[in-house]
Chains A and B, each alone.
Chain A
Amino acid sequence: MTESNFLRELHDPDVPVPEGMQSSVAVTNLRKLADTVYNWGRRNSIWPMAFGLACCAIEMIATASSRFDQARFGMEVLRASPRQADLMLVSGTVTKKMVVPIVRLYNQMSEPKYVLAMGACAIGGGPFKEGYNVVSGVDKYIPVDVYVPGCPPTPQALLWGLIKLQEKIDKQSLGNANSTPWYGRGPSDEVPVPVLGPDIVDPRQAHLLRREAEAVQAQMVQAEGEEN
């Protein structure tokens, strides 16, 4: 954000400021000041987690390197530890085997945290959707903030996604517990970690499993009854 943009953003439109001073003076209220300064700081220092899944990760690296220069957005500090990261770039195919660590990593990230699904695979399984080890979209397990389509998305597209994320951050307000829940209600609930059983199991669907198992049993009983 340029300086004058920043002031314009900050300024309360109800308060008149003399013509000649508009470029250097902004009158605002405390909440708006807090929001703007707070979001300005966050949007320009997002630390993504250093974590690449598949082909898309290579374009992610290309985005971080000199030609496309992610550092322009204050996002070049890749952290290997989820504890230090604000943004999980899900860059590639999410497999059933991999979604377990992904959910764990997501749970370990500290709030506020964001997820960007990069590429067709992370969005919905992509070219490998029908595969037996492929999760059809990371949003089946963890919430996603921005989707960037492509296979792989070009670095330009990824940058677009990152800008969208910045726009989202700009709209969050400290006064609104719905948009910044980490200040309101304490940490959000952990996502239950999937279990690697005969196939991947989402613990949130345990009741569905039980229902299906009971249905199978009922069918068997019925079939037996018919035989007799």
Chain B
Amino acid sequence: MADQSPAVETVNPVDDAINHLIEKFGAAVQRDTRDGYSGVIVDPAQLVRVGRYVRDTLNYEYLANAAAVDYLGKGDHLEMVYHTYRVSGGPALVLKAQTPREDAVLPSLVPVWPGANFQEREAWDLMGIRFDGHPNLKRILMWEGFAGHPLRKDWKEAYYEQDQKPFDSRWPGGQVSRSEEHNAYGKNVKYPDGFTLDDYESLAEKAIYDTMPLGVDVSADISTDRVVVSLGPQHPSTHGVFRMVAAIEGETIRGLEPVMGYLHRNHEKIGERNTFLQNMPFTDRLDYFCSLSNNLGYALGVEQLMAHGARWEAPSRRAEAIRVLMVELTRILNHLVAIGFMLNDLGAYFTPLMYAIIERELILDFFEAVTGSRMMCNYMRFGGVAADLPASLRSTANQVNDRVREFDTMQYLRELIHDRLPRAVDQTDQLLTTNEIVTSRCIDVGILSKEDAIAYSAAGPVLRASGVPYDIRRAEPYSLYPELEFDVAVRYHGDIYDRYLIRLDEMRQSLRILKQILPILEETKGQSFFSGRGGIYSPRVPAGESYGRAENPKGELGYYIVSDGGQNPWRYHVRAPSFINLTALEQMSKGNKIADVVAILGSIDIVLGELDR
């Protein structure tokens, strides 16, 4: 007995769960044994049953991400990857299902996780996987009638040059040529053989209206016509080029469909051609208010992969401190502006936003001094950041007057964090929280229940305002967060008002974090801000998969990255919080008035660059 080692409790809950699954489903569930991969591969026939079991019995009730991968030439199949989490925290249980490239079909997981709705539509649109049992399977980012599924590896666009950057035509020593000159139409277009415009009827608009509930409902005694209206893509309430098609009865919403893709810039396709580092500036342009937080999420994803490789050194303490500083400043900036925009939607035309932008400019002055750019910072690197904080900067943040002057950087930050920003938050609070219009328009409008919030994979402030205290900074901590003191903000009504209040709470928590960061910055002064050798432009990223997630101001920003050991990612997928939060929009809006939908949308806080990618 003495030589027997004591029964070790399984420390890893995911391993535990996988064992359960294998025990229960036998051969239908297999461990993913590929090098650098994790999770289980599920037999498609059993996928829905496994999903239910994972959700109900194993308590992985939150589906964070569903992404498709094309393994052309590496097994020649398409693979759907699902990341599920427990809302109590902890790492992911990853489910995968494979299907042949020809005639790709998988069962839909929408009945289990309604939050898979848009993500499966995206996989159909871009990868061509058909989902059996999906309630509304049509294209989402491209338009109905578009030829082909562009994210497949063998699909080439009109301006295609090569599979990898840098293109030979640019560098080194290449002859620069304009893609327009190689195209018969002088534009970024290509058509199937023999296509002409004669008798062609576009499906793009028709497909949107086909599924809307139209017509007159005469079942009740007196009833109004049901009308379908289209809001957007050019509409002052839609924050850019978003569009909603709503079926209304009188003023009441009966059905609503978000129509997106008006800013679909093919981030992922381009990202698979870029080297790992070249993607960094592209991430800036996802959520263009929060370029630095986007940078961090991507850096985390790639660092996860690099950690398996040789000669990897984790970022230094100073680098981590600078990262947290940047990210939390970004959160404050974003929430101030988000509240401003939301008030816009309530009818306070631009005035609250002006107040927000004053503070934003002060933070941007700092960003510009550190990174060289106001908005597109491109600042994080794998293993640190691109540059140290400068000794001084020029700005106007002065209590006495608004003249531009030279500040010592640390003094500027202290002034900003201890004085200026707290005042700005308090001012927002004082001006808006008890404002009669705000309270009467926001309280009890657009409610999202706790159960729905989880089922629809809502993230960030939207999830937390519905009573789920889920924050990745605590649930699966990264960077310096484990040692920082802050509370996860949570509110319980799930209405617009709570989504507004939670942003105030979060800003205050961010300020708390920032106050703890300042001493760390002082104490690490002079330390290195980058752990790798100086100037590595093409980091060696070992083969495997990773899912890097960060708590962005708008919610969980995730990067699912597959590397085959080469210069560029084999698959680069972005889990965009703005996109997935919208899955619940119809649920929140039904039964409300059309003017409220505008406010509800404002309270979700979407940004189109990230929504459409």
Residue numbers of A with Cβ under 8 A of B are 50-55, 57-59, 61-62, 65-67, 80, 92-93, 95-98, 101, 105, 125, 127-136, 140, 151-152, 154, 195-203, 205-206, 208-210, 212-213, 216-217
Q: Could you tell me the distance in whole angstroms from the C-beta of B580 to the nearest C-beta in chain A?
A: 20
Find A133's partner among B197, B264, B357, B374 (CB 8 Å cutoff): B264
Find A131's partner among B143, B236, B269 (CB 8 Å cutoff): B269
CB–CB A132/B197 < 8 A: no
Residues of A within 8 A of B198 (CB): 210
Q: Which of B207-245 contact A (CB under 8 A)?
A: 233-236, 240-241
Q: Could you tell me the distance in whole angstroms from the C-beta of B598 to the nearest C-beta in chain A?
A: 13
Q: Could you tell me the distance in whole angstroms from the C-beta of A71 to the nearest C-beta in chain B?
A: 11
CB–CB A55/B609 < 8 A: yes
27 examples of A-B residue contacts, CB within 8 angstroms: A52-B240, A53-B240, A54-B240, A54-B609, A61-B357, A65-B358, A66-B358, A67-B357, A95-B264, A97-B204, A97-B264, A127-B270, A129-B179, A129-B188, A130-B160, A130-B273, A131-B266, A132-B188, A132-B269, A133-B264, A135-B188, A136-B179, A136-B187, A196-B145, A197-B191, A199-B189, A216-B194
CB–CB A213/B233 < 8 A: no
CB–CB A198/B196 < 8 A: no
B190 within 8 Å of A by Cβ?
Answer: yes
A98 touching B241 in the complex, CB below 8 Å, given contacts A130-B161, A133-B264 = yes
A140 and B282 CA atoms in complex are apart in Å by 24
* 0 or 1 for each of B303-314: is its CB under 8 Å from A? (1 = yes): 000000000000
A205 touching B191 in the complex, CB below 8 Å, given contacts A55-B375, A66-B354 = no
Residues of A within 8 A of B269 (CB): 131-132
B180 within 8 Å of A by Cβ?
Answer: yes
Residues of A within 8 A of B609 (CB): 54-55
Residues of A within 8 A of B265 (CB): 54, 93, 95, 128, 131, 133-134
CB–CB B263/A203 < 8 A: no
* 0 or 1 for each of B169-210: is its CB under 8 Å from A? (1 = yes): 000000000011000111111111111111010101000000
A195 and B198 CA atoms in complex are apart in Å by 12
CB–CB B285/A55 < 8 A: yes
CB–CB B263/A197 < 8 A: no
A135 and B159 CA atoms in complex are apart in Å by 11
CB–CB B608/A209 < 8 A: no
Q: Could you tell me the distance in whole angstroms from the C-beta of B366 to the nearest C-beta in chain A?
A: 15
Known: A130-B161, A196-B143, A200-B189. 8 other contacts (CB 8 A): A55-B375, A57-B240, A127-B270, A127-B282, A127-B285, A128-B270, A130-B157, A154-B374
Find A213's partner among B147, B190, B196 (CB 8 Å cutoff): B196
A155 and B202 CA atoms in complex are apart in Å by 39
CB–CB B159/A130 < 8 A: yes
CB–CB B358/A135 < 8 A: no
A203 and B196 CA atoms in complex are apart in Å by 10
Residues of B within 8 A of A217 (CB): 194
Q: Which residue of A lies closest to B364 (CB)?
A: A62
CB–CB A131/B157 < 8 A: yes
